[in-house]
Amino acid sequence: MAHWFYEDNYRQRDGKLPYFTLREFMSLMFQHCPDLKIHASGVDTIVSSWIDYKIRVPGYGAILLNDTLEKCLLVKGCSARPSWGFPRGKVNKNEKEVDCAIREVYEEVGYDLSGVIRSEDFIEKKVRDQTIKLFIVPFIPENTHFECKTKNEISAIEWHKISEIPTANTESNQPKHQSNNAINYYMAIPFLPRLKKWIEQFKNSSAPSTPSSAHRPQTKGTPTHPQHLSPFAPLCSSKKKEKQKKEETKPKKDKHEEREMMVMLRGGRVDTQNP
């Protein structure tokens, strides 16, 4: 956090201040802080252990799709060689998966998924020892205003046609052709096969092809829950209908028979003269 604060604040105000890598910055901190000096000789080991831990912390985010389900929203970082990827980030201690996704998406693109995100619609992959779970949120208007809420984290936010994003080798999660275009999307590519399958299932489900206003999140204020159906909705719907049908075909008891049964269960006598 101290390193990020130095980069985002002090160096932004004074361009003459030197740039430090994380390892260099921590080494200086350990040399100048009395409580850390005793560990100064082991900085390299500490940094390596922290990086190893960092890359294994689970990440959560969201795949935002436009009204036609043909485009997805991608973000590009501010590193020296940034790549397009889905908005996501690492989970905090004791933070729920959905809450982490909502927080990270809002920080990176300024869109609040509260009341919109569905916990059952997601893609989960393990990429380089890190588990990443992205929740799928369709029907986001393309004219929505997106804006990063954090400093020096996101350099660009754009809609991209899913059909134009390079494909991947499903076994290695690496682009089939290591072209410059493929490298630009290497953070998004591992999720594309399952995303395309989800969209296909979604379109073949009982969800309407052209959603009405009730299916669309609001563009102003707090978004409403999109009443879209999961790809598995037809199965749930058929089970519900089958249960309703069974209830309707059950023989209905006569009111007098029900009254007699209740009295007998209570140990009383049935008055046959007053039904």
Give per-residue pLDDT as tens, 87-138: 999 999 999 999 999 999 999 999 999 999 999 999 999 988 899 999 999 9
Q: Check pLDDT > 60 for residue 154.
A: yes
Give the pLDDT of residue 107. Answer: 97
Which part of the chain has CATH 3.90.79.10? Answer: 59-215
How many Cβ atoms are within 10 Å of 190's Cβ, its own excluded? Answer: 23
pLDDT number for residue 15: 83
Rounded to an integer, the average pLDDT of 47-52 is 87
Element (H, E) at 103: helix 97-109
From the centroid of its chain, how far is CA 74? 13
User: Does the pLDDT at position 73 exceed 90?
Assistant: yes
pLDDT exceeds 80 at position 241: no
What is the pTM (predicted TM-score) of this model? 0.67
Which candidate, 207, 181, 223, places its Cα nearest to that of 69?
Answer: 207
Residue written as token pair 């436009």: 66
Question: How far is it, in rounded angstroms, from Cα 117 to Cα 101?
Answer: 9
If you ran DSSP here, which 8-state letter would residue 150 be given?
S
Class of 59-215 in CATH: alpha beta
Which residue type does 114 have?
S
pLDDT value for 236: 40
**Strand 59-64 with 88-90, pairing:** antiparallel
